Amino acid sequence: MHKWINVERGLYKDVKTGIFYQRLRRPGGNGKKSSDTWQSLFTDKITEARTRLDLRRAARQAGKLGLKVKTSDSKNEPTVNVVLDRYVKDGCPNAAGHQRGDPRYVEAAIPMLRENLGSLEISKLTQAQLDKYHTWRITQCKRGDGHRTTDLDVATLSVACSWAVRCELIDKNPIERHHKYVDSRDVRHAKEVSFADMKEAHEWAGEMFQDRRSESVAWQLLFACMFGNRTEELLSMRTDAEPEKPGWISTDGGTLYVRRCKNPKIENPTAAISPEHRQLLDAHKVWHTERYPESPWYFPGRDRTKAGPLDENALGQALRKRSAKAKAARTPHGCRAVYVKVRRSNGVSDAQIAIEINHTSGVATLEAVYGGVPPAWLAGSGPKMKWIPGEPAWAKIKQVEQPKTAAKA
């Protein structure tokens, strides 16, 4: 429902959206009462609204005199800049209309979109225009080939357009269905950047533990592999979490609560704690108490003055550095692949695994991302991999007392 504010004669503002409208009086006849109707001026700026209103009135008056008046479409149609203005004003919400967990790539995209497409009218925002933007954008990138960066920029613009539709600033999103510039054949799947098993994961984490500067990220690596969480989910975990909030452990010690950053309406916010997981949690607690007694974050950042968690790119950077040395690519997403592999090796079905890691796109997609299940494993003859197959990685930590025995889950 609209709630109008009369700004001046014939000019109204929608309280909810901030968009200005022209009020038109329709005369009655044949027993019908006169009625009002409102036509959008497609702007939330008062000066622009007045200009567009004057133009419409002039055209209407000329029409009564039998004259034709050609008005510029640019005076009646919002540009990309207008759409981005509204999007930024409302906090750059995500596709669902909620606040973004990490808005950095959106904040980086908007200035580039303004520079190249800002003055373009929305109706002229076509795939051809996006292709021109892509050609220009790759010349601006200092790192990478620019294809992925362009896709992120265009995705930002598409979400902004969809938001503008919800705000009745424009009638439709002209790029809701658009071509992507990253070739799907070049995309590495998680199975290609995954550890072979948990033994290898512990080896990589163990090397990180030998340097105090990378201890926190080593813990993140192990938690990602053993619980299957995304980076954003792990970095939201707190040691002082309230009941059922990220990082809280149930009173019986059997459940760890996590935050799912995708599909929150159908999320599984819990993770089971096995005896091996309990060893991880106990060792982490000892380390955390020794190194960061005042930090509430599971994975504190290196800058103690900021008192925040690790940067979201910290694990990726650490793995890239180690990958170059080992000549074997490993990524944070590959950590989730290890989780899938270990669970499959123990006879757990893909349907169950999808629930555990909140992979809601279906079993078929799980297979496409993490590969198929060996037939022998389906028959219950898998290798039954362990989370801690030998000496744990945290044994490499220096000057931190290790727990003598692991508490039962």
Whether residue 246 is predicted with pLDDT greater than 50 in this model: the reply is yes
Backbone angles phi, psi at 20, to 5 degrees: -90, 145
Q: pLDDT tens digits, residue range 368-382? A: 778 888 888 988 899
Going along the chain from its start, the domains and CATH numbers come out as 4-75 (no CATH), 80-186 (1.10.150.130), 190-396 (1.10.443.10)
Note the pLDDT of residue 362: 59
**Of 260 and 272, the one with more pLDDT:** 272
Note the pLDDT of residue 327: 80
Whether residue 400 is predicted with pLDDT greater than 80 in this model: the reply is no
Measured distance CA(21)–CA(140) in Å, rounded: 39
Residues present in the chain in total = 409
Helices (H), 250-331: 275-291, 314-326
**Of 47 and 113, the one with more pLDDT:** 113
Whether residue 40 is predicted with pLDDT greater than 90 in this model: the reply is no
Measured distance CA(13)–CA(35) in Å, rounded: 18
Within a 10 A sphere around the Cβ of 200, how many other Cβ atoms?
Answer: 17
Note the pLDDT of residue 405: 54
Instruction: Locate the DSSP E strands across 247-368.
Output: 255-257, 270-272
Note the pLDDT of residue 408: 47
Q: What percent of the chain has pLDDT over 90?
A: 43
Cβ atoms of 46 and 20 within 8 Å: the answer is yes
Cβ atoms of 371 and 340 within 8 Å: the answer is no
361 pLDDT band, cuts 50/70/90, is: low
Which of 26-30, 132-136, 273-277 has the lowest average pLDDT? Answer: 26-30
**Of 181 and 407, the one with more pLDDT:** 181
Q: pLDDT tens digits, residue range 316-349? A: 999 999 888 878 889 888 898 999 999 999 999 9
159 pLDDT band, cuts 50/70/90, is: very high
Note the pLDDT of residue 341: 93
Whether residue 409 is predicted with pLDDT greater than 50 in this model: the reply is no
**Of 127 and 303, the one with more pLDDT:** 127
Note the pLDDT of residue 58: 75
Whether residue 179 is predicted with pLDDT greater than 50 in this model: the reply is yes
What average pLDDT score do residues 213-231 get?
95
What average pLDDT score do residues 123-152 get?
90
